[in-house]
Amino acid sequence: MQSIKIWIGTLFGAGLLPYGPGTWGSLFTLPLIYFSAILFPVYGLYALLLITVLLSLWSTDANVQKFGDDPGQFVMDESAGQTVVFLAAGFHQTGSDLLILLAGFLLFRMFDIMKPLGIKAVEKMRGKFGILADDLLAGLYALICLELLIHFVPGLG
């Protein structure tokens, strides 16, 4: 069971890739986000968020035990945070969908890496909830910025 938790927590090995495992985890989540939104427009992203949050909480302990506190290899929390970014964005199988995905990805990675606006403080929470909470907050800030971009940048939305 531990190896399954590690495999899931690393997003099927994405977190084991070299150079920026959080970026790989976020990037590998984008197709899941896109197809969840297209195939199940009303509830797909909310279902994906629930699944990634639950999988993150379920698999955290095994990954912490194997890799150490808040390990970089554990990227299921990035997957949950990246999903938050797109909860309000609509996808319509158009050329702008790729721009929205790219903008949301870049915004999330910026907030997740720089940790402004209280994200750093949330990250200091102990345990699995702290590991997850900073990514969810980074996702929320990126969601707000993405919605502003969609609203104010012609052709993006």
Amino acid at 29: T
CA dist 13 and 26 (Å) reads 13
| Residue 54: Cβ within 10 Å count | 12
Tell me how far apart the alpha carbons of residues 79 and 69 are, in angstroms, rounded to a whole number: 18
Lowest mean pLDDT among 14-23, 109-118, 121-130: 121-130
For the segment 68-97, the average pLDDT, to the nearest whole number, is 89
Q: Where are the domains of the chain?
A: 2-152
For residue range 9-61, what is the model confidence (pLDDT) as tens digits?
999 999 999 999 999 999 999 999 999 999 998 899 999 999 999 999 999 99
Share above pLDDT 90 across residues of the chain, in percent, rounded to a whole number: 82
Mean pLDDT of 56-74: 95
Average pLDDT of the residues of the chain = 93
Tens-place pLDDT, residues 45-58: 999 999 999 999 99
> Concatenated DSSP letters for 23-57?
HHHHHHHHHHHHHHHHHSTTTHHHHHHHHHHHHHH
